[in-house]
Amino acid sequence: MTMRLPKAFTNVSLVVGALISLTIILLAIFAPYVATHGIEQMDMRNRFDGPTIEHILGTDNFGRDLWSRLVFGARISLTIAVIAVTASAIIGTVVGLVAGYFGGWVDQVLMRITDIFLGFPAIVLALAIVAVLGPGIMNVSLAIIVVAWTEYARVVRSTTLVLREQNYVQAAKALGASPARIIFKEILPNALGPIIVLASLGLGTAIISESALSFLGFGLPPPAPTWGWTLAYGTRFMRDAPWLSIVSGATIMVTVLGFNLLGDGLRDVLDPRQLSRGGGKSAKAK
C-alpha cells in the first residue's frame, strides 16, 4: 500500500469524493445540531412549503421539515451501510484468502458457494430475507451482506493467488510459519488496497440497496426517516410538492456519487493493478 500524498491531492475523483463523503458523514454525526426541526414536528400552517428561510428544503403534507428528516435519514443509511460493508468485507476477505492460499478443492468449494450467492439478483434475495426476518437495522444489513460479501471473496482470492507466489511469502513458508500466520501477517496487509477500494464502492452500493428496500416499504418502518421511504412518501404528492421526491432522490445520488468517486480515486492512487504487473517489491513496501 504505497500512497504518495501529493499524488492523492491532485486526483480530482479522490478529492471531490472525499469531500462529499466527509460532508455527509459529518451531517449524520451532528444531525441533532444541524437539523432545524424535529423529524416528526408538524407545522400545519406551512404544509407543502417550497424552500423558505424557515424550511430550507421545504415541507411535506404535515409541514414536516425535509432538511431535518434527510439529515437524520443519513444516520440510518450510513449506519446500515457501515455495518453491511464491514461484515461483508470481513467474511469475503477471509473466504478469499483461504480459497486463494490453499487452492485445490478448498478453492473449488468456496468459489462455487460464492457463485451461488452471486447468482441471485441482490435486491430479490434481500427482499426475501427482510420478508422472513422482518424489518430492523440488523436484518436490513444482513439482507445486504448476503450478496455483498461475494465481491470481496472473488477479488481477494485473485489477489491472493498472485501474492502467494511472491518470494517473501515463499520465504515465510520455508521458515516454517503457519498458514494462519502467512495469510494474516504476510498476505492480508498487501491485499488491503483492493479491499479498501471495494469497501468505498460498497458503501455506495449498500446505500442504494438500503434505500431501495425502504422505498418499497420493507426497510426500517416509519417514523424512521429513511431516505427511501421519504422519497416513496413524496411520490404521493408529485403534483403539489414534487421537490419532496426529487430532493430525497438527489440526496441518495450525491451520497452514492461521493463514495463511488472516493473509491475510483483510491483505486487510481493505490493502484492495485501494480500487484498483477509483478510489482512484488513495491507491494511489500509499507
Residues that bind other proteins in the complex, under the rule CB under 8 A: 112-113, 115-117, 119-125, 127-134, 204, 208, 211-212, 215-218, 231, 235, 238-239, 242, 245-246, 249-250, 252-254, 256-257, 260-261
Closest approach, Cβ 45 to other proteins, in A, equals 28
Alpha-carbon distances, residue 224 vs 71, 80, 129, 170 (angstroms): 12, 13, 20, 53
Task: Name which of 193 and 204 has its Cβ closer to other proteins.
Answer: 204
Closest approach, Cβ 143 to other proteins, in A, equals 11
Closest approach, Cβ 264 to other proteins, in A, equals 8
Comparing CA positions, the residue from 70, 69, 80 lying closest to residue 126 is: 80
Closest approach, Cβ 133 to other proteins, in A, equals 7
Euclidean distance between CA atoms 170 and 190, whole angstroms: 15
Closest approach, Cβ 127 to other proteins, in A, equals 5
Closest approach, Cβ 200 to other proteins, in A, equals 13
Contact 195, 89 (CB under 8 A): yes
Task: Name which of 190 and 251 has its Cβ closer to other proteins.
Answer: 251
Task: Name which of 45 and 112 has its Cβ closer to other proteins.
Answer: 112
Q: Cell numbers at residue 272, please?
A: 492495485
Task: Name which of 3 and 133 has its Cβ closer to other proteins.
Answer: 133
Task: Name which of 190 and 205 has its Cβ closer to other proteins.
Answer: 205
List, in order, residues 6 or more apart from 250 with CB less than 8 Å away. none
Euclidean distance between CA atoms 171 and 176, whole angstroms: 9
Q: Cell numbers at residue 212, please?
A: 431501495
190 SS3 class: helix
Closest approach, Cβ 256 to other proteins, in A, equals 4
- Encoded amino acid at 16, one letter: V
126 SS3 class: helix
Euclidean distance between CA atoms 46 and 37, whole angstroms: 13
Q: Is the peptide bond before 222 cis (omega within 30 degrees of 0)?
A: no
Task: Name which of 133 and 180 has its Cβ closer to other proteins.
Answer: 133
Q: Which residue has the cell 432522490?
A: 249
Q: Which residues pair with 59 in a beta bridge?
A: 65
Task: Name which of 117 and 168 has its Cβ closer to other proteins.
Answer: 117
The backbone region for 116, taken as left when phi is positive above 0, alpha when psi lies in -120 to 50, beta otherwise, is alpha
Task: Name which of 60 and 186 has its Cβ closer to other proteins.
Answer: 60
Euclidean distance between CA atoms 231 and 244, whole angstroms: 7
